Each structure stands twice: as structure tokens, then as C-alpha cells.
Amino acid sequence: MQQRCLAARRAGQTIAFVPTMGYLHEGHLSLLRSGRERGELLILSIFVNPTQFGPNEDLASYPRDLERDLAVAAEAGVDLVFLPTPEIMYPPHYATYVTVEGVTEGLCGANRPGHFRGVTTVVCKLFNIVQPDVALFGQKDFQQLAVIRRMTSDLNLPVEIVGLPIIREADGLAMSSRNVYLSARERQQALALSDALHLASTAVQQGEMNVQALLALATRRIEQEPLAVIDYIEIRDALTLQPLQKIDQAGAEAVLLLAVKFGKTRLLDNHYLTQPF
């Protein structure tokens, strides 16, 4: 892979890169479509990265369907699919990790210790292997995108980071490879996430600027679902991810971020509160 990428760079080709864990859906496809427009060489990686999973998380059961993914990738015009193994990425005596401070604290960082260290380490390694001009990520994983932007800037990595909007099912549920874990009842109740975002952003459009009131509104909607267990519901500054005291339409962009568990499945969703849902 490294040789192919180097040759492409020497030939003056721009490289667009979409890192994923596979089990591709329309969210991944939106990144690939944008990558296809931005790069002469479009590279997709599929790697279920063990270092970003905690000991009691779903590494072993994470959904996989390589055959289908390869067909989807070909259809999307991907030029190269990089399929490293854990042994290639983390050979014996592996000892180097990338740690980003600040934006990794709180939200998913609080509930998944070590998660972002795994993400930044693997993304940094993938960037070094692929050497892309542009890399595309989804706003679905809002904090992850902020962490990757921070790492790229702090380490002077010569790659442009592009963040793209959340792709949803027709009924509002944010697409995720993990949605297949949901039972029919959980799937129905999971609509509370997008509903809560909808309620809160509508309230902001109608003039509600009080963070506590907006959080209470979103929380009440999630708590209506008996199977929902809230991990966090927070309103943060979209750029710094610092907690916000109040919504200020003229100032910082506020984002409402949710993590909610249904059984063993942990779902994420978010929305800019200053934008209609």
C-alpha cells in the first residue's frame, strides 16, 4: 500500500482517503462520493482497530461483511482498498501511541477511556501509510472529528481534514454499522435521539437560549423510552467542545451531543442547535 501511494504521489496524483471500520452504509458512501470528487486516487481503509475498543466492548462482535464492502467500494469508484490486519498495524513490541489532550476529555472520552488514544494512533499511522492530500470524516462522530482536526493541526500533518454531515435513515435514525445490533423494539425507541435533537433545535429557533432548559427538553424525550439509558446529553461549543453556558446565535456555534445505550448498543447523535433539524 505504502509503495502504491508513494508512486501516486510522485506521479502528482492527489490522494483522497476515507478510513472506516467497514460494514459500509450510506454514511460511509457519502464520504466516498465526496472523496471521489476531491482526489484522483480514492483510497478506502477497512480496519476494526483493536486499540480503540475497551476490554468489555464489542471488538469481537463488531459487524463485518468484507465481500459486500468490496462490492460497495467498487461501485463507489474506490481505487484502492487497504485492509491491514492487527498484526500489520501493531506488530510485536509495538509501543507508540498518539495522545490528544483537551478535546478528548468528557463526552465519549469520559465513558470510553483509551478510546481516542486508539483512534488518533491508528489514524496517524494510516495517514503516514497512505499520505493523503485530503481525508474525509463524518460529523456523526463529532468529537472524533474534533480530535482528528486537533491532532492534524498540532502535529503539522500535511492533510486537509473534511467533515461531512450525518446521513440518516428515512425516519431520522443516524446511520451506524452498530444499528444492526438493535432489536425491533430498541430500533423503534432509538428514534428518541433524533427526536430530542429536533425538539431542542426547534426550541432554539423559537428563541429558547437557556442551556439547562434545552438539556431538560432533550433528556425528557429520551427518558420517555423505557429501554434508553443515557450516557450523556451535553451542549458544547462546536469548535472547542467546551461546555457552553448559554446559546448565543451571534457567537459560538452550539452543538447538542447525545450518547444513549439500548441494551449493549451505544448510539451517538448530534446536531448544531443554531441550524434547523
Q: So which residues are the catalytic ones? A: 28
Is residue 118 a contact residue for ligand AMP (CB under 6 A)? no
Identity of the residue, 135 or 233, whose beta carbon is nearer to ligand AMP in the bound complex:
135
Q: Which three cell numbers stand for residue 19?
A: 478510513
Between CA 248 and CA 274 the distance in angstroms is: 9
Is residue 31 a contact residue for ligand AMP (CB under 6 A)? yes
For the chain, the farthest-separated pair of C-alpha atoms sits apart, in whole angstroms, at 57
Strand 254-262's sheet: what is its strand order? 228-237, 254-262, 265-272
3-state DSSP helix/strand/coil % of the chain, to nearest 5: 40, 20, 40
* CA R_g for the chain: 19
Is residue 193 a contact residue for ligand AMP (CB under 6 A)? no
Is residue 109 a contact residue for ligand AMP (CB under 6 A)? no
Burial class (CB in 10 A: 0-12, 13-18, 19+), 85: exposed
Residue nearest to ligand AMP as judged by C-beta position: 138
x/- map, 194-233, ligand AMP, by CB under 6 A: ----------------------------------------
Is residue 124 a contact residue for ligand AMP (CB under 6 A)? no
- Within 13 A of 161's CA, how many CA atoms are on the CB side? 20
Is residue 28 a contact residue for ligand AMP (CB under 6 A)? yes
User: Backbone phi, then psi, for 86, in 5-degree steps?
Assistant: -55, -35
Contacts of 229 (CB under 8 A, 6+ apart): 260, 261, 262
Is residue 175 a contact residue for ligand AMP (CB under 6 A)? yes
Identity of the residue, 112 or 140, whose beta carbon is nearer to ligand AMP in the bound complex:
140
Is residue 21 a contact residue for ligand AMP (CB under 6 A)? yes
Interface pick for ligand AMP out of 176, 201, 265, 270 (rule CB under 6 A): 176
Is residue 141 a contact residue for ligand AMP (CB under 6 A)? yes
Min dist CB 139 to ligand AMP, Å, is 7
Q: Which stretch binds ligand AMP (CB under 6 A): 78-86, 173-181, 238-246, 248-256?
A: 173-181
Strand 228-237 and strand 254-262: the pairing is antiparallel
Q: Which three cell numbers stand for residue 264?
A: 449493549
Is residue 137 a contact residue for ligand AMP (CB under 6 A)? yes
Binding site for ligand AMP (CB under 6 A): 20-21, 27-28, 30-31, 137-138, 140-141, 164, 166-167, 174-177
